[in-house]
Amino acid sequence: MKRDDRIRRKFKMRFGHDEERELPRHPLARYARALKLLRDDLQRSLYMETADGLGHYAAQTYSGIHEAIIAKFADPFIVALKLDNMPDAEDQQIVSLVNLLSGQLLTFIEAEIEDDLADDAPEPEDVTEEDTDV
């Protein structure tokens, strides 16, 4: 059984993971979902060129999520992803930067969740063809 299959099986057994949801109920999973939604919304606004007026909102939302993650999981990489104050930046620039930072933070958080669950995953059992015959 592949490592990814073991992790998926572990998600389902341990957390009642639904196949349509990508992340289990891990302490950092709620932040990963929030970051994913934020990133998706920002990408959509950049693609549709509707980022005007979203800069302050995007920065405030990202900063709140970032601070909550640091309170639970202080890691130097996460601390480095802090959004600096950019008073002279245009909305398009702020939205682009928040989009980049949220993607980086989301990737790190998802990797941490997978690593935590992979460490707890049971070793695969040997299954022979005789065991699978019905």
Return averaged pLDDT per consecutive 10 residues of the chain, 134 residues in all.
Answer: 62 51 69 92 90 88 93 88 88 92 92 77 56 54
Query: Rounded to 5 degrees, what are φ and ψ at 100?
Result: -65, -50
Q: What is the CA radius of gyration of the chain?
A: 19
Is the pTM value of this prediction over 0.85? no
For the chain, what is the mean pLDDT?
79
Query: What pLDDT is stored for residue 44 in this prediction?
Result: 92
Q: How open is the CA angle 46-37-92, to the nearest 5 degrees?
A: 25
CA-closest candidate to residue 11, choices 126, 108, 125, 116: 116
CA end-to-end span of the chain = 20
Query: What pLDDT is stored for residue 23 in this prediction?
Result: 47
Q: Check: CB of residue 99 under 8 Å from CB of residue 35.
A: no
Q: Check: CB of residue 86 under 8 Å from CB of residue 94.
A: yes
3-state secondary structure of 25: coil
Query: What pLDDT is stored for residue 27 in this prediction?
Result: 80
Query: What pLDDT is stored for residue 74 in this prediction?
Result: 82
